[in-house]
Amino acid sequence: MSDLFPRRLALLGERANLSLLSQCLHGIERECLRVDNDGQLALTAHPAALGSALTHPQITTDYSESLLEFITPAKADPAATLDDLEQIHRFAYSKLDGEYLWSPSMPCALPEEEVIPIARYGSSLIGQLKYVYRKGLALRYGKTMQCIAGIHYNFSLPDELWALLQQAEGDTRSAKDFQSARYIALIRNFRRYSWLLMYLFGASPALDSGFMRGRPHRLQQLDATTLYLPYATSLRMSDLGYQSSAQAGLTPCYNDLNSYTDSLRAAVGTPYPPYVEAGTKRDGEWLQLNTNILQIENEYYSNIRPKRVTYSGERPIQALMARGVQYVEVRCLDINPFLPLGIDLVQSRFLDAFLLFCALKDSPQLENTECHSCTDNFLKVVKEGRRPGLHLQHDGKQVELKDWAHELLDSIQQLSSLLDQSHASDAYSQALAAQRAKVDDVSLTPSAQVLAELRQGESFTQFALRQSKRHAEHFRGQPLDAEQQAAFEAASAESLAQQAELEAQPEGDFDTFAAAYQASILAIAT
């Protein structure tokens, strides 16, 4: 047993180093569907008053024209990050005419697939590229699945903290390589322990029955329009959510950054027969960017990603290879339908302690057997995490979820205590105590609370719409002050002007642009 973890904790606990823990950065991306007064998908265009989805830095769309995405800047104080997210919501609600933001992750009752609108980004070549990429997603996975929403939590540790650890451990690699290796080690531990997040924060145990589109399933009927699993925590993260036979064989190795980027480089350059058969065009109209396993690297769906801010025109893989890992993006978090923002400060503080634990805890490489058990544990918890006496695989043995959860929380408590010291508060320990209470009392979990509401007689859609309207009252009841509103108005106007400027530039034809883009994929993949 290595003694690295206690040594790292002791080093960061020294008075001279404690402040480093208050310099971690947090950013949040929150997706949500626009719906009408009856809880039906809004088929209106992205509101022009919100600015350009192509160029606005904080308000865009994800897959569908109806699927908004709100993006905060990265800040050291998670309370400030959540405040930014709150302001974006308030501004959006000042512009939504008779529409609401859907409160849970699983979508509202959806119209026929062909009716679901794909997001549009204007006539510029980059705008067309984003649209064709989404057409490819529709072709490959269907539009229904692309209407699922989630929260992405971006987290980084300060460079000075990595430098401190590197010096203390006598590591002779470059700072870039050491930092990248440590972030990849964090991701390996996240793979080991992220089932705990699904138990604590999973909030999608039920869905509208229309989501299944008549496909076979093993869900149970809760009422005429609601399907569920009695012990599920997050159907969004189960195999009911994102399904892809093409990606089934794509499991990037997280043993080092190069193996990760190599696997994605191969996927963006390797044809996949069913996609080849569909082709890139039909009757002169683009269907998908290419016929490879992935059109672009961001098509790879994962619970967590290593990330690096890209320069203009740079691909994510290029950024990672050139400058290393800068932060991680946690992608498995459900939207909590009881919270106006879908996430709150208690959850954010626990996530910080959890991710720091993953970063500092010893993280041996994942062998095949452990890799499979990580996946199995995760899928077991999303489908039956609240089942009494549920057992998971740990070190080759079966252990009860509750026992392992308490063991993990005991270790994470050490990080919560250090964070409390660095912030001169007890807020992080309180956040951890709230999670421990959920382990002891399953009825406190969001997934259990959602089912408790539904069992009072509401359908999934009725419950979600009621929460959506309640949240709308929250945001509309606390409008932005004049200065904040004016700043958002200016940002929206500026984004529209930027899009217009892009579209006014002579750019050549899209086929040439798309061919050059494909060539850049193939160039990376060699």
- Tell me how far apart the alpha carbons of residues 317 and 298 are, in angstroms, rounded to a whole number: 9
- Tell me how far apart the alpha carbons of residues 422 and 416 are, in angstroms, rounded to a whole number: 10
Neighbouring-strand partners of residue 103: none
Domains of the chain, each with CATH number or no CATH? 4-524 (3.30.590.20)
pLDDT of residue 368: 79
CB 375 within 8 A of CB 237: no
Sorted by sequence, the CB contacts under 8 Å of residue 171 that are 6+ apart come out as 178
Q: Coil, strand or helix: which one is 225?
A: coil
pTM: 0.96
pLDDT of residue 89: 98
> Treating both helix axes as pointing N-terminal to C-terminal, what angle do 460-476 and 78-95 enclose, rounded to 10 degrees?
100
Sorted by sequence, the CB contacts under 8 Å of residue 295 that are 6+ apart come out as 133, 136, 137, 268, 288, 289
Q: Coil, strand or helix: which one is 100?
A: strand
Distinct helix (H) and strand (E) counts, the chain: 17, 14
Written as six digits, the tokens of 120 are 């549009």
Backbone angles phi, psi at 202, to 5 degrees: -55, 135
Mapping DSSP onto H, E and C, the string for 257-271 reads: HHHHHHHHHHHCCCE
Neighbouring-strand partners of residue 32: 68
Residue 26: closest CA among 97, 65, 76, 95: 76
Q: Name the DSSP letter for residue 109.
A: B
Q: Name the DSSP letter for residue 47.
A: P
Question: Which CA distances in Å does 238 have to 19, 143, 147, 366, 379?
Answer: 39, 17, 15, 22, 6
pLDDT of residue 520: 73
Residue 233: closest CA among 512, 16, 460, 447: 447
pLDDT of residue 506: 84
- Tell me how far apart the alpha carbons of residues 410 and 188 are, in angstroms, rounded to a whole number: 20
Per-residue pLDDT of the chain (526 residues; tens, 9 = 90+): 468 999 999 999 999 999 999 999 999 999 999 999 999 999 999 999 999 999 999 999 999 999 999 999 999 999 999 999 999 999 999 999 899 999 999 999 999 999 999 999 999 999 999 999 999 999 999 999 999 999 999 999 999 999 999 999 999 999 999 999 999 999 999 999 999 999 999 999 999 999 999 888 999 999 999 999 999 999 999 987 555 677 766 767 688 899 888 888 888 889 999 999 999 999 999 999 999 999 998 898 889 999 999 887 788 888 999 999 999 999 999 999 999 999 999 999 999 999 999 999 999 998 878 888 999 999 999 999 999 999 999 998 999 999 999 999 999 999 999 999 999 999 999 999 999 999 999 999 999 999 999 999 999 999 999 999 999 999 999 999 999 999 999 999 999 999 999 999 988 899 999 888 877 766 665 4
- Tell me how far apart the alpha carbons of residues 508 and 135 are, in angstroms, rounded to a whole number: 22
Sorted by sequence, the CB contacts under 8 Å of residue 108 that are 6+ apart come out as 33, 35, 39, 40, 41, 102, 208, 461, 464, 465
- Tell me how far apart the alpha carbons of residues 431 and 379 are, in angstroms, rounded to a whole number: 25
Mapping DSSP onto H, E and C, the string for 364-427 reads: CCCCHHHHHHHHHHHHHHHHHCCCCCCEEEECCEEEEHHHHHHHHHHHHHHHHHHHHHHHCCCH
pLDDT of residue 31: 98
Written as six digits, the tokens of 520 are 């850049």
- Tell me how far apart the alpha carbons of residues 125 and 513 are, in angstroms, rounded to a whole number: 7
